[in-house]
Chain A
Amino acid sequence: MSRLNQIELALAGLMLAAAPWIINAAPYESTMGLVQKIFYFHMPSAWLFLIAAIIAGVASAIFLFGKKKNADGWALAAAELAVLFGVITLVTGPLWARKAWGIWWVWDARLTSSLILWMIFVAYLLLRRYGGPGSDKLGAGMALFGLANVPFIFVSVNVWRTLHPQTSVVPTLPVQMGGPLWYCVFALLLLFLALLSMRARLERQRVRIEDLYLAEDEA
């Protein structure tokens, strides 16, 4: 773990530990009350879930069409983070929905397509782990499917009728709610960048290990 990663992780950890006090200072939403505070973790996690899917898809495209081996490591790192932030989104969302909507889950366009995206990246990781030779190219194809799903997820709440709030909510937030939200976005983004860099480094080390074993066999 590099020095920069340690600093990033420590800072993100401190910011997340202090987050409940900052979120507590934000005013209550008039209809949902206390449970709306889940929003401050749910929404940044959902953004990072989609950002991770975009990074994985773009890096996979560079790997497939640009023949850049290094890009595959970044795709794998981003795919793992898509699963991580995806599970946070898919668990915190129903915890909020149970109180706000009266149900844990509804099979609408936003929730269903988010679950499908998460399952695409779970399948990607399983393929990379157990797929054997050639799984890197097959996985890259899967990540492109994941990337194609991202704009659909983003616009789904504006196009189809759903219980989920629309994308226009964030720009219209009052400053007292926007401040804590951007604080949480920054803390989780810092964590995301540290984890992405560490995971990509692990992949470079694995390539180095393979090269060393090959060199040993040849000697």
Chain B
Amino acid sequence: MRFCRALCVAALLLSAPVAYAAQPKPSVDEFVPMEEVPASEQIPAINLVAAAYGFVWVVVVGYVWSLGRRLQKAESEIADLERRAAR
């Protein structure tokens, strides 16, 4: 009987750290105040500003280039079809 009681107490004591470890960690997409973000996870503001400005340029230049190519292709196709129709 004493052995069983000791076993129950030991099981209870051991379950505490297991239960603590099994607790859900705070979700990474929850709001974390800036002061609490570890230094290793903080990104310098200049990198973010440069990335935003660079992204705008890449997207705009890419779209203008793509649109210019499509316009050129359509114009040459129209010229070709009109030439064929004139014959």
Contacts and interface: CB of A to CB of B under 8 A. Distances in A.
Given A38-B48, A98-B43, A1 B56 contact: no
Contact of A1 (B31, B52, B71): B71
B31 A101 contact: yes
A205 B67 contact: no
Contacts of B9: none
Interface size on A, as a range, is: 35 or more
A139 to B, nearest CB: 19
A148 interface: no
Contacts of B84: 216
Secondary structure dominating the interface of B: helix
Contacts, number: 96
Secondary structure dominating the interface of A: helix
A201 B81 contact: no
A206 B74 contact: yes
A84 interface: yes
A85 to B, nearest CB: 9
Interface stretch (A51-59, A68-76, A166-174, A207-215): A207-215
A11 interface: no
A102 B82 contact: no
A40 B56 CA distance: 12
Contacts of A102: 31-34, 36-37
Contacts of A219: 85
A96 B55 CA distance: 13
Interface residues of B, number: 35
Contacts of A33: 45
Interface hub of B33, B46, B60, B75 (most chain A Cβ within 10 A) = B60
B49 A9 contact: no
Nearest to B84: A216
Interface hub of A84, A99, A199, A206 (most chain B Cβ within 10 A) = A99
Nearest to A213: B81
B77 to A, nearest CB: 6
A163 B29 CA distance: 14
23 contacts: A16-B56, A16-B57, A33-B45, A38-B49, A88-B56, A91-B52, A96-B48, A98-B43, A99-B43, A102-B36, A103-B31, A106-B31, A163-B31, A191-B60, A199-B67, A202-B67, A202-B71, A205-B78, A208-B78, A209-B81, A212-B78, A212-B81, A212-B85
Interface of B: 29-34, 36-37, 43, 45-46, 48-49, 51-53, 55-57, 59-60, 63-64, 67-68, 70-71, 74-75, 77-78, 81-82, 84-85
